[in-house]
Amino acid sequence: MKTLVPILLPALLATAAAEPGPITMRRSGNGTWELMREGKPYFIRGAGGQRNLDVLVESGGNSLRTWGIDSLAEKTDGKPLVQRARELDLTIAAGLWVGHERHGFNYSDAAQLETQRKTIRAAVAKWKHEPAIGFWGLGNEMEGPTADGKDPRIWKELEVLAKIVKEEDPSRLVMTVIAGAARAKIEGVKDHCPSIDILGVNAYASAAGAGKAVKDAGWNRPFVLTEFGPSGHWEVAKTSWGAPIEPSSRDKAAKYYSTQQLVTEESHGLCVGSYAFLWGQKQECTATWYGMFLKSGEKLPSVDAMSRAWTGKWPANRCPRVETFSSPAKGNSVRPGESVAVTLDVADPEGDKVELQWTLAGESTDRQTGGDAERAPEEKKLTMESAGTNQWTFKAPSKPGAYRVFLVVRDGRGAASAENIPFQVR
């Protein structure tokens, strides 16, 4: 039998209670970490975002992550997020935004630092009595997604902020989140931030190996994979004109599933959970790359994959499966007005009749860094002509440029798949 050795943190003073409360942590004699909630082991099965929470619970999820404090009061299903989370027994990793230099924050400006400290202190003081908050998420990629992590000003200020959070709320753990598992970043937190309890890592193509990376860099406290999903648009093959080629719905689902399995199995006792990204929809490179739901609300295959990973079972109604979606135009150029062929083979696991929606959009030109808001290109309905079994054609635009054909397959029962093909008219 393993002997559990408690870590003497203020957060551990909170034991099992009648209502949900803060999450605590403990370490076994062999070095394995685990979180505790209401006196029981608590492994995070989470998602980033605050929509579709009923589906999160149905899928086996137990936690959600936000990025900014204002999200706690925003309406979800007609109610403040914290109220809805309490009703569904979901914990919240409550985000406290920490300034980014690419947004104009200066870590050498004493006035800006003092203002940020006061803002975070006030936010924690306001919300610390909310039982749905499991722990605090202090900052998200504040070092910069493309930075080398060697700027000590940021890590030293992070420690100041973590102390402020614990002064205001000694009952809760504090997590911070870095972009990727680069050794310099992990060492920055390890060497300068003793008040940080949990290290969160956002990773995509390399997500499955994040646990090993943090261990190899010397981190010996709990670790959470705070964002993961398909390979990022900066990590995939591109067309000759620079358009990233988006993974298929099935490939994305497989990536979610395998990452969840591997990161928990190969984290050397450090991993205490994960948050899939994104339990919602957003425009980032395309309208479908990262969202696990469509803008119209239907779930995508990545949701089914997480349900399978969390519960060991597929949901009762699975998303339509796109077996084949190809075209000779994919990644290539066509002439203005040329007839373009598409091969499509779709199957629905429950045999539901599916509906196809075809649209055309120009390639996104508003590319931002680190998930910052982007302007979505206009989509227009695309007329497709049937050319036989599984064969379709459409006419290429007359105007030269870079485009994508988007396909959405819906089963009429809240499930869908989404694909796209980049091509160029010249």
Do 339 and 300 share a domain, yes or no?
no
CATH of residue 244: 3.20.20.80
Q: Residue 289 belongs to what domain range?
A: 4-311
Q: What does each C-alpha distance from 230 to 67, 147, 201, 235, 363 come to in angstroms?
A: 20, 22, 15, 10, 19
- CA atoms of 327 and 344, how far apart (whole Å): 9
Paired strand residues for 394 = 340
- CA atoms of 332 and 423, how far apart (whole Å): 5
Do 258 and 351 share a domain, yes or no?
no
Weakest-pLDDT range from 142-156, 196-210, 362-376: 362-376
Look at residues 253, 285, 311 and tell me which one is the last residue of a structural domain.
311
Residue 277 falls within a domain, yes or no?
yes
Q: Is the CB of residue 278 less than 8 Å from the CB of residue 306?
A: no
Do 354 and 394 share a domain, yes or no?
yes
**Confidence check: pLDDT of 336 > 50:** yes
Q: Residue 17 — very low, low, confident or very high, per pLDDT cuts 50/70/90?
A: very low
Residue 239 falls within a domain, yes or no?
yes
Residue 316 falls within a domain, yes or no?
no
- For the chain, percent of residues with pLDDT exceeding 90: 90
- The stretch 190-213 carries a mean pLDDT of 96
Q: Is the CB of residue 340 less than 8 Å from the CB of residue 423?
A: yes
CATH of residue 326: 2.60.40.10
Q: Residue 141 — very low, low, confident or very high, per pLDDT cuts 50/70/90?
A: very high
pLDDT at position 372? 85
- The stretch 156-176 carries a mean pLDDT of 98
- Rounded to 5 degrees, φ, ψ at 31 are 95, 0
Residue 197 falls within a domain, yes or no?
yes
Do 70 and 193 share a domain, yes or no?
yes
Q: What does each C-alpha distance from 112 to 96, 362, 372 come to in angstroms?
A: 16, 40, 21
- The stretch 62-68 carries a mean pLDDT of 98
Instruction: Supply the mean pLDDT for the chain.
Output: 93
- For the chain, percent of residues with pLDDT exceeding 70: 95
Do 44 and 67 share a domain, yes or no?
yes
**Confidence check: pLDDT of 357 > 50:** yes
List of residues 6+ apart from 424 with CB closer than 8 A: 239, 240, 241, 243, 332, 333, 334, 400, 401, 402, 403
Do 266 and 182 share a domain, yes or no?
yes
pLDDT at position 20? 58
- Domain tally for the chain? 2
**Confidence check: pLDDT of 270 > 70:** yes
**Confidence check: pLDDT of 7 > 70:** no
Do 126 and 74 share a domain, yes or no?
yes
pLDDT at position 267? 65
Do 200 and 330 share a domain, yes or no?
no
Do 295 and 212 share a domain, yes or no?
yes
Look at residues 272, 291, 311 and tell me which one is the last residue of a structural domain.
311
**Confidence check: pLDDT of 18 > 60:** no
pLDDT at position 19? 57
Residue whose entry in the numeric block shows the structure tokens 């999160």: 56
Do 292 and 407 share a domain, yes or no?
no
**Confidence check: pLDDT of 23 > 70:** yes
Q: For the whole model, what pTM was predicted?
A: 0.93
Q: Each residue of 236-258: pLDDT tens digit?
A: 999 999 999 999 999 999 999 99
Look at residues 271, 290, 311 and tell me which one is the last residue of a structural domain.
311
Residue 55 falls within a domain, yes or no?
yes
Do 269 and 356 share a domain, yes or no?
no
Burial pattern 181-195, b for ≥16 Cβ within 10 A else e, equals bbeebbbbbbebbeb
- CA atoms of 305 and 312, how far apart (whole Å): 10
Do 367 and 289 share a domain, yes or no?
no
Residue 262 falls within a domain, yes or no?
yes
